[in-house]
Copies of this chain bind each other. A is one copy, B any other.
Amino acid sequence: MAAHNVSIAIIGAGGVGKCFLSQLEALSKRRPTPKLSLCYISTSKKALFNADYSLPVESVLQDLAASSKDPMSLSQVADYLATAPSKVVLVDNTSSQDVADTYPLFLSRGISIVTPNKKAFSGPYKLWQDIFTAAATSGAKVYHESSVGAGLPVISTLKDLVDTGDEVTKIEGVFSGTMSFLFNSFAPVEGSGGQWSAEVKKAKELGYTEPDPRDDLNGLDVARKLTILARLAGLPVESPTSFPVQSLIPKELESVSSGDEFLQRLHEFDSQMEETKAAAQQKGKVVRFVGSIDVATKAVKVGLEEFDKSHPIAALKGSDNIISFYTKRYGANPLIIQGAGAGGEVTAMGVTSDLLKVLSQIS
C-alpha cells in the first residue's frame, strides 16, 4: 500500500531533542515507509530550513550549529509548515509555554503535534479545550505520552480505559523521578536512611534535580502531571494551582536568592523532615511524596503520605515512577505501571512512539 510522505518539524534540540533525533535517524533507516523528511529545526537561537522542505537527518545538528539563520517566529513557522508539500508533524521538544500556546494555531492549520512538553496540557483549562477543539475540527493529531512518566505508557493506558468505557475511580502514584529518588534514600523500607538535606545535595550532584532543586521540591512538576491525568479522566481541573499542593521548601527558604544558598541552609530544617519520617516509622510505615486523583469526589492533591512497607509505592527503587489506576473493571487490585519516569532516552522514546502513532493515521 502506498503511504504518503510526511515532513517533520522540530523545535528544541536539548537533551530530549538530541535523543529524539538519533531515534528518528535510526527509524528512517529501519522503516523505508512512510518516507520521512525533516523540514525545520530550531533552538532558541538558531534555525535550519530550506525551500525544498528537506534537511538531511544525519548531519542536522552540525548543520544547525553552522547555520546563520534566526529562528522564525511561531506564526511564521505555522505559515511555513502549512504550505509544505506533504503532511507535517511538529515535534515540540521544548518546555516552552510560548510554543505550547501556539498549538491551537498549528492544529487548526492541519499540523499534527507530538511533544513531551507539559505546559500545553497543564496550563489554563481554556488552552486544553482550544487544543482539542482545533484538532477535532482539522483532523490533525496531538499526542503527548511523555508529558507524564516519560516513555511509560501512562497517558495511552488512561485514554484506553476511558475510551473503552471503563470508569476510573482513582489514580495514585509517584510521578517525579527526583522525589522518588529522594524518599527511597531518605526513608527506605529497610534501614534508617539518610539526612534530608544530605539526600537533596546528593540528588543534585547526581543530576537528578533541576538546577535549582526548589523547582522539584515545590511540587509543581507533580501538580502539572496530575492536572493532565485528571483532565483525561474527565475532571475539568482549572490549573495546577487550583488544588492542594504541598511544597517541601521551608517557608524561610522560599525567597533566598539562589539554589546554592538554599542547599547551604537546608540542613537548618532537617528536624522537620526527621519528625515526619519518625512519625511514619512508629506506625511501621514510610513516607512518600505522591499525587492522587479521586475522581468521584473530584479531589486532586499532591504531598506527603504514609504507606505500609509492603505497599508497591513504598517498595519503589531508584528514581522510578509508579502509577496505579483504580477502575470499575479492574476492581480492588489496580492496573499498575512502573519504571523510569525521567531521562533523555526514555522521554524521547515516548515522543518517537507518539510519532509512529500519528504516522499510522496520517500517512
Q: Which residues of chain A from 159 to 179 have a CB within 8 Å of any chain B CB?
A: 160-161, 163-166
| Stretch from A206-214, A299-307, A311-319 contacting the other chain | A311-319
Closest to A322 in B: B336
Min C-beta distance of A240 to chain B, whole Å: 26
A160 touches B153 (CB 8 A): yes
Closest to A166 in B: B349
Confirm or deny: A152 has a beta carbon within 8 angstroms of a beta carbon on chain B.
yes
Q: Which residues of chain A from 322 to 358 have a CB within 8 Å of any chain B CB?
A: 329-340, 343, 345-346, 349, 352-353, 356
Closest to A20 in B: B164
Confirm or deny: A92 has a beta carbon within 8 angstroms of a beta carbon on chain B.
no
Which one of B27, B329, B338 lies within 8 Å of A336 (CB-CB)? Answer: B338
Interface size on A, residues (CB 8 A): 47
Q: In the complex where A157-B153, A315-B312 touch, is A338 in contact with B340 (Cβ < 8 A)?
A: no
Where chain A touches its partner, the secondary structure class is mixed
What chain B residues lie within 8 Å of A338 (beta carbons)? 312, 335-338
Min C-beta distance of A237 to chain B, whole Å: 22
Closest to A136 in B: B1
Complex CA distance for A89 and B334, rounded to whole angstroms: 31
B335 touches A164 (CB 8 A): no
Chain A 40-74 against B: per-residue CB contact (8 Å), 1 yes, 0 no?
00000000000000000000000000000000000
Min C-beta distance of A286 to chain B, whole Å: 14
A164 touches B352 (CB 8 A): yes
Confirm or deny: A281 has a beta carbon within 8 angstroms of a beta carbon on chain B.
no
A333 touches B339 (CB 8 A): yes
A163 touches B1 (CB 8 A): no
What chain B residues lie within 8 Å of A139 (beta carbons)? 1
Which one of B330, B343, B353, B360 lies within 8 Å of A361 (CB-CB)? Answer: B360
A339 touches B332 (CB 8 A): no
Confirm or deny: A272 has a beta carbon within 8 angstroms of a beta carbon on chain B.
no
B329 touches A164 (CB 8 A): no
Q: In the complex where A27-B165, A160-B153 touch, is A333 in contact with B340 (Cβ < 8 A)?
A: yes
Confirm or deny: A76 has a beta carbon within 8 angstroms of a beta carbon on chain B.
no
Min C-beta distance of A101 to chain B, whole Å: 24
Which one of B160, B335, B336 lies within 8 Å of A353 (CB-CB)? Answer: B160
A333 touches B361 (CB 8 A): no
Min C-beta distance of A140 to chain B, whole Å: 9
Confirm or deny: A156 has a beta carbon within 8 angstroms of a beta carbon on chain B.
yes
Q: Which residues of chain A from 7 to 62 have a CB within 8 Å of any chain B CB?
A: 23, 26-27, 30
B339 touches A334 (CB 8 A): yes
Min C-beta distance of A206 to chain B, whole Å: 14
Which one of B156, B164, B312, B332 lies within 8 Å of A156 (CB-CB)? Answer: B156
Confirm or deny: A310 has a beta carbon within 8 angstroms of a beta carbon on chain B.
yes
Confirm or deny: A133 has a beta carbon within 8 angstroms of a beta carbon on chain B.
no
10 A-B pairs in the complex with CB atoms less than 8 angstroms apart:
A1-B139, A23-B164, A163-B356, A312-B315, A315-B315, A329-B345, A329-B346, A330-B346, A333-B340, A336-B337
